[in-house]
Structure 1
Amino acid sequence: MLKTILFDTISLITILNPIAAAAIMVSLVKYSDIPSVSKTTSLTVLIASVITMIAGGWVLKIFGINLPSIKAIGGVVLLIIALNMVQGKEMAPTNATKDEHEAAQEKDNIAVIPLAIPILFGPGVITTIIVLSEKSKKLIDKGALSISIVISVFIVYIILKNATYISKLLGINGLKIVTRLMGLIIGAISFLFLIGGIKALWLMS
């Protein structure tokens, strides 16, 4: 169980990429609003993750999608995200749009959109949670995934709450390096999903 929790947590936290989100938050939120925004953002990510874990498999069954298929396409999605991160395309703390800056006037709004969704909780996280949930057939594995989600969101909260300090400590170059390293990890995870999905589909054919 500990091994499962460790793998799931590492998978989720790297794909969530809270350090990049922290850098973006600093450019959009007033210093005095960071604690409350961090709390709202983290809570939103937690709720969205739990809903995905519970309802994701049900949605797949409605559309007749099997686990190998979602693992294969999920691997492709994660690989694209990983390549973008390694190339530095995902790390853009100063690239907030005009609309996002206007939304920042309402801290509750920016905490949910765009910080929680889609900056933190995007397609990669959705895919990962669905794949991890669907392969967790035993109750103990479902429990391990639930624990991993809580741990990951707690880490996200801690990082966001200390966003200003982390951004100053790492600097732009440091943030880019961390993002690229996370991209490499996500790339490795994507291949596990992709190869596992293709292998299962091959055996089913």
Structure 2
Amino acid sequence: MSIESLEYLFLCLSTLISLVNPLGMAPLFIVLTERFEPNDRISIAKKGTLTATLILIIFALLGTYIFKFYSLTIEAFRIMGGIIFFRTGLRMLDAQISRGRSTPRETEESMESDDIAVSPIGIPVIAGPGAITASMILSGEARDAIDYGILIFTIMFTMILTFFVFRGANKLSARFGTTGLRIIQRIMGILLMVIAVQFMINGVTVVLVNIFS
């Protein structure tokens, strides 16, 4: 594997894990599934992560075509994505759960239907706007088939990690405590903000070069 591919692998992993934020979402998963039995919680976690995996892979594979269809540039998405990621990272730094996940009304309706695995767990708790945008941006950053393979692998790896975190959410919450989970969330928030700034720098640099060249 080339240096460029390794760099792309690290970019995909750090971006997706920071945005999906399994540890930060574990307390929310506990709250949403508190009335279910342990075996049902595992089934919900499995179905939710499978749903999110499908959504993220679809957007990753269709990212390039969406750019072409709407005549969008990767630079525009870098700048827009950077703004979204920075805002999400700032909320994580304040140890707040991202508001872009689901409304109380959506959660209530999902709970009434006894099918919270797809929504709100799968979408938008796991595959939120930030993660979907990241899949499209990272797809645009891919140079060849190897990079696309890396992107699909990192999506699947992140979802497997999320499944196991949600599966052991109660144990993790008891072991780390609320303070520990918030500290981890803040660290991931800082990392996400750095990635966001770099995305914006890359996008703005290309735009300025095109304007003044």
CA deviation string 1:132-160 (max 9, x = no partner): 11110211111111111111111111111
Q: Is the 8 A contact 1:20 1:91 kept in 2?
A: no
Unaligned runs of 5+ in 1: none
5 Å-filtered alignment, 1:1-205, equals: 1-29=5-33, 30-32=36-38, 33-90=40-97, 97=104, 100-101=107-108, 103-104=110-111, 106-107=113-114, 109-205=115-211
- C-alpha distance in 2 between matches for 1:104 and 1:120: 17
Q: Output the amino acid matched with 2:12.
A: D
- C-alpha distance in 2 between matches for 1:190 and 1:75: 4
How far 1:83 moved relative to its partner?
0.8
- C-alpha distance in 1 between matches for 2:139 and 2:14: 15
Q: Is the 8 A contact 2:25 2:97 kept in 1?
A: no
Q: 1:63 and 1:98, CA in 2 relative to 1: closer, same or farther beyond 3 A?
A: closer
Q: 1:110 and 1:141, CA in 2 relative to 1: closer, same or farther beyond 3 A?
A: same
- For these two proteins, the number of residue pairs brought into alignment is 202
CA deviation string 1:143-201 (max 9, x = no partner): 11111111111111111111111111122222221111111111011011110000011
Q: 1:187 and 1:142, CA in 2 relative to 1: closer, same or farther beyond 3 A?
A: same
**Moved beyond 6 Å, runs of 4+:** none
- C-alpha distance in 2 between matches for 1:189 and 1:14: 10
Q: 1:170 and 1:105, CA in 2 relative to 1: closer, same or farther beyond 3 A?
A: farther
Q: Output the amino acid matched with 1:52.
A: F
Higher relative contact order (CA 8 A, sep 6+): 1
How far 1:3 moved relative to its partner?
3.6
Q: Is the 8 A contact 1:79 1:190 kept in 2?
A: yes
How far 1:24 moved relative to its partner?
0.8
How far 1:41 moved relative to its partner?
0.7
SS of structure 1 residue aligned to 2:116: helix
Report the aligned-residue RMSD. 2.0
CA deviation string 1:67-90 (max 9, x = no partner): 111101110111111111111222
- C-alpha distance in 1 between matches for 2:71 and 2:103: 38
Q: Is the 8 A contact 1:45 1:121 kept in 2?
A: yes
Unaligned runs of 5+ in 2: none
Q: Is the 8 A contact 2:106 2:120 kept in 1?
A: no
Q: 1:61 and 1:4, CA in 2 relative to 1: closer, same or farther beyond 3 A?
A: same
Could you tell which deviates more after superposition, 182-191 or 27-36? 27-36
- C-alpha distance in 2 between matches for 1:17 and 1:157: 12
